[in-house]
Structure 1
Amino acid sequence: MSVSIVKYYGSQLGKCGYCTGINCSKSNGMHAYRLDCQDYQNLIDRGWRRCGNYCYKLKNKETCCPCYTIKCDALEFKLTKSNKRILRRMNRFLRDGKRDPVEQAARAGNEDDVTASVDAPASEPQPQMPDKSPAVINVEQAVLLAKAQKSKAKPARAAQVPLTQSPSQGSTKSAAVISNKPCKKAKQMRLERRQAKLGDTAQQSSQKAFTQEKSLTDFLSATSETNKHHLKIVLVDSSDTQHTCAEEVLALYRKYQVVIHNDNPARLTLASMQRFLIKSPLKNEKPDDGPEMGYGSFHQQYWLDEKLIAVGVIDILPGSVSSVYFFYDPDYSFLSLGTYGSLREIDFVQTIAATTPALKYYYMGFYIHSCPKMRYKGKLSASYLLCPETYVWILLTDVIRSKLDKNKYQRLNEDAAARDVNEFLLEHLEEVLLLLDATTCMQYKDYVQITGTDSDRVEIIEYSELVGKVCAHRMLYVNMA
């Protein structure tokens, strides 16, 4: 049994990384000393994200730029013309070592490029973090205390609580809910109409042409030993600082932040990179039914011949691969490395899903419709947004986009009667687990009885409602000064 340990900070107010407004970004935050991978999967399925050890959830009704968690079903993903252009451009470069000026000119006037003008990665600006440092605790000792308390209390099995609504529990207007079959593509419908007119021979020919369309794997496997350049992607455990903190990685990170995001070079230290991209609260796990590399935080390093040109920071979780950040060498911007990295990560999910079927989603972070530069994430096919009230996944369609055009905050789930199936109620408060000091761990009901005080009641309820019933009962809440 793994134990998650968190310190809740409450409401946070700061500068927005999207509209650059001052004191208009509103969120709730907490420091994670340690996170079980399933707990973090549950948290991001409630709108949370992590930046290093800091976890935050935007107050979408109040904040300046509402952020909707977005994911792509990797097994339903279909390449767009823009995706194919980027893949062909990379393959030509690897084969011949030359840039394609025609493609460059075409791309300059192409608004369909999924990554916008600077080929932005699937990541968010660093959130505003609280000034105060979290209390120092002995994590391993706290884990032992929590396990002993859970064993004594014998709480209800969290696995029995469903975390998402089925179509029958959610909206009856369920055309946009993830469990429904997607509509037919226009190309397929045209082919079927043509087949009906031309007869069996044309039908067989057209069907053959349709089924032979290149897949993402086909494009990525089109390599040859005779290529002028060779691209190798190496998966490195985030805790392996010998590789994740190598001089090449830090130099690449500094170059990317300065050129692409105009960051101050003096602030781009090894310590800042470690805090943002290396340190992770996720506990690496290798269950028998999981992927070969296990669950946890990793880096995918892109080596062109002997040169590091990009790094993708990812979390591999029980139900998804979550993109944390992606940075690359601006000298290779002509290869659209931001989009190429996203396509590579989708292919990575597809590969894992072949042996671990439950892990089939690619989480891209936040979709911010009110910020035009951040709409590019919604251009990946089979993308879904998380309803910020019922936590049901809704297919991102033009209808949804139109609603967000009119009002930047939307419930998304059209069923007014639908509720959060993982909702935390006051009757669940007694079982919240608290760490009081280095040697004391107990449930909230025992804490109130022994201390005779409930001064932290409001804050603990707020935290529990935000993380949901399952995590509120599984995770250890640090209640120390």
Structure 2
Amino acid sequence: MATCDHSVVEYFPGNDGHHCGYCGSDNTNCSHGMWAHTMTVEDYEQLVYRGWRRSGCYCYKPTLSIACCPMQTIRMDAPNFSISKSQKKVIKMVNRYLIHGIKKGESSSDHEACVRDLHHNETKRSSQVLADLDASSLRLKGSKKQNESGDSISVKHKTESTAKTSLTEDKQSAEVASEHGVATARKGKTYKPGVGLDPNKPKCGKAKLIRLEKKKKKLVVESSVSEDQTDSVSTAEISPSNSKKMLKRENERKSVEEYLAEPEKAESVAHKLEIKLIRSCPPSEEFLSTFRKESYKLFKRYQMSIHKEPENECTLRDFSQFLVESPLQHIPGDKKLLTGYGSYHQHYILDGKIIAVGVIDILPHSVSSVYLYYDPDYSFLSLGTYSALREIAFVRELYKSSPDLRYYNMGFYIHSCRKMQYKGQYSPSYIACPEVHTWVPIEKCRPKLDAARYCRLEEDPTIEDEEGKIDLNAVLILQNGTLLNYEKYHMLNPSRKDQSEIEEYAKLVGRTCSQRILLYRR
């Protein structure tokens, strides 16, 4: 990949505390900061791996050892992503809305309708059987009074036989009703007749039989046997337990892309969802056409509704500085990576309307998630989780053409804040050790973070922070338009007492970045 111009930053010394948006503390969220006038994607990615993040052009690195809510850098290996059961449910819920127009909690299943009709029918039948039984009993009493001669005995046997038949039918009806969850009718109680089965709907079968049928079809595909041969398969081979295992294996084999693509394969859909990747800095023409009218208005609604921010803090300028402006130098796409590198917005367009925007940075080895804002009216779609899964699928797509790009940076993982722990649910995830900046599987980090908010996560005590071993004289400095190393800078400015400040900066950004990034000095 071609290398752009040098990065230029202005470092702000100090580590003062400020308000924490996670626990509400006034001055315990501590971090170091610098303003990035311009930055290469290589340098920014290196800074991300050392715990830095950007908000617009401002870059900050939390001081985890004294922070109230330590923010750990987390990333996920996208090609090896394993989708969880809860994540599948979110995609299926969104797909259900897109294909059928059914929101979460609503239902129009034909199977459920059939079951309801069956319940009505079985209840009606059970009531009729009991009514017939009561009528038989009345006829039996009348027969005894009219037949005082010897034939009263034959009438008695006849009515007893009728009663037994009715009881048998009643018992069978009760069993059927019980099987389908219908309460058995009690004697002396009347029920409103049901409407019966709908002839326009397919007959509904037992779930167990449906699973067995699916098993047979799978055997045809996997064993290359005919359907006639599958009829000879033993009951043990197609038992419900085996069928359940087989269906579980089938679901495990499906990738996140296959789940997300289901609406595209449907014959017809109730809603059309389109996702567009649009360059935000420098802004493309398409971005400029939606910047004020849609993107900003959506951001304003989101901030005021979800984060309860006052309207005067959701200005167009705030939006631009926070999510539009970026120091990253854009690199156009090529045959290797068609999208190019830099800052982008992903527009989630539902039926021609933008309902969500994901702000991302495409870097040499990763896609970094910056922010997501969405229309509060569509909160029922769980867009936070859904957009994360979409971004993971996007990384996996980029990985096919550029194997070096394989990671999904999710920002900061905050173990002490429950609402921020969701980032650790995307597997396999790794957290950067705050002391040596190696990547540790999150499963090994959780017990340590349960015991202490801040700790060394790297288990090998011999590993050191090699990037923290700086050469002060090699630190690059830009002064009055002149590029200098620190040694020359100090010779030209012997009276300046900023050695400790420059040394602090160099250790925070690491040896590699301190020898590539230009530190601007006035």
| TM-score (normalised: structure 1) | 0.76
Q: What's the CA shift for 1:244? A: 5.6
Is residue 244–residue 278 contact of structure 1 (8 Å, CA) maintained in 2? no
Q: What code does the residue aligned with 1:433 have? A: L
Q: State yes or no: 1:82 paired with 2:122.
A: no
The reply on whether 1:409 has 2:413 as its aligned counterpart is no
Q: CA 1:215/1:52 → structure 2, altered by over 3 Å: closer, same or farther?
A: same
Cα contact 1:244–1:299 (8 A) shared by 2: no
Distance of 1:290 and 1:262 partners within structure 2: 43
Equivalent-residue separation in structure 2 for 1:205 and 1:87 (angstroms): 21
- 1:291 maps to 337
Q: Say which of 474, 488, 494 aligns to 1:452.
A: 494
Query: Number of residue pairs matched?
Result: 380
- Quote the sequence identity (%): 42
Equivalent position of 2:427 in the other structure: 381
1:424 deviates by: 3.1
Does residue 329 of structure 1 match 2:375? yes
Pair 1:39-2:39 in alignment: no
- Evaluate the alpha carbon distance shift between residue 100 and residue 22 of structure 1 in structure 2; reply closer, same or farther with a 3 A threshold: closer
Sort the Cα spacing of 1:206 and 1:86 in 2 relative to 1 into closer, same or farther, 3 A: closer
Q: Write the distance in 2 (CA, Å) between the matches of 1:20 and 1:100.
A: 32
State the partner residue of 2:116. none
Deviations 1:324-365 (A, max 9, x none): 000111111111001000000000000000010111110110
What secondary structure does 1:478 align onto?
strand
The reply to whether residue 467 of structure 1 matches residue 492 of structure 2 is no
**How much does 1:270 deviate?**
0.8
Q: Which residue of the partner structure matches residue 422 of structure 1?
A: 467
Aligned equivalent of 1:392: 438
Cα distance in 2 for partners of 1:245, 1:424 equals: 44
The alpha-carbon deviation at position 422 of structure 1 amounts to 1.8
Q: Deviations over 1:443-479 (max 9, x none)?
A: 1111112232351100000000000000000001011
Q: Which residue of 2 aligns with 1:65?
A: 69
Q: Which has the higher contact order (CA 8 A, sep 6+)?
A: 1
Question: Equivalences for 1:292-331 in 2 at 5 Å?
Answer: 292-331=338-377
Quote the Cα distance in structure 2 between the aligned partners of 1:262 and 1:65. Answer: 21
Picking from 7, 10, 13, the partner of 2:13 is 10
Amino acid at match of 1:10: P
CA deviation profile, 1:218-245 (whole Å, cap 9, x unmatched): 0111123510110000111012251462
Give the counterpart of 1:432 among 461, 472, 475.
Answer: 475
Residue in 1 aligned with 2:58?
A: 54
**Residue 218, structure 1, aligned to residue 258, structure 2:** yes
Structure 1 residues 244, 25: CA separation in 2 closer, same or farther (over 3 Å shift)? Answer: farther
State which structure, 1 or 2, has the greater radius of gyration over its C-alpha atoms: 2
Cα deviation, residue 93, structure 1: 0.4
The equivalent of 1:276 in structure 2 is 322
- Worse-matched range after superposition: 336-345 or 244-253: 244-253
Hey, what's the Cα distance between the residues in 1 that align with 2:462 and 2:20?
33
Q: Aligned partners of 1:443 and 1:287: how far apart in 2? A: 33
TM-score, length basis structure 2: 0.70
Q: After superposition, what is the alpha-carbon deviation per residue over 1:155-209, rounded to whole angstroms, capped at 9, x for unaligned?
A: xxxxxxxxxxxxxxxxxxxxxxxxxxxxxxxxxxxxxxxxxxx99xx99997896
SS at match of 2:510: helix
What is the CA–CA distance in structure 2 between the aligned matches of 1:290 and 1:366, rounded to whole Å? Answer: 29
Please state how far the C-alpha of 1:402 moved relative to its aligned partner. 2.1
Amino acid at match of 1:26: C
Relative to structure 1, the CA distance from residue 343 to residue 87 in structure 2 (aligned partners, 3 Å threshold; closer, same or farther) is same
Q: Secondary structure at the match of 1:229?
A: coil
Q: 4+ residue runs of structure 1 moved beyond 4 angstroms? A: 202-209, 287-290
Q: Which residue in 2 is equivalent to 1:92?
A: 96
Which structure shows the bigger proportion of residues in helix conformation? 2
Q: Which residue of 1 aligns with 2:310?
A: 264
Distance 1:289 1:449 in 2: 47
For the residues of structure 2 that align with 1:205 and 1:19, how far apart are their CA atoms?
A: 44
Alignment partners' CA distance in 2, 1:362 and 1:6: 25
- Which residue matches 2:183? none
Give me the whole-angstrom Cα distance separating, in 1, the residues matched to 2:250 and 2:103.
31
Gaps of 5+ in 1: 104-197
Deviations, residues 115-156 of structure 1 (Å, cap 9, x unaligned): xxxxxxxxxxxxxxxxxxxxxxxxxxxxxxxxxxxxxxxxxx
SS of the counterpart of 1:474? coil
SS at match of 1:88: helix
Q: Is the 8 A contact 2:104 2:380 kept in 1?
A: no
Amino acid in the other structure paired with 2:508: L
Which of the residues 343, 346, 350 maps onto 2:389? 343
C-alpha displacement of 1:73: 0.7
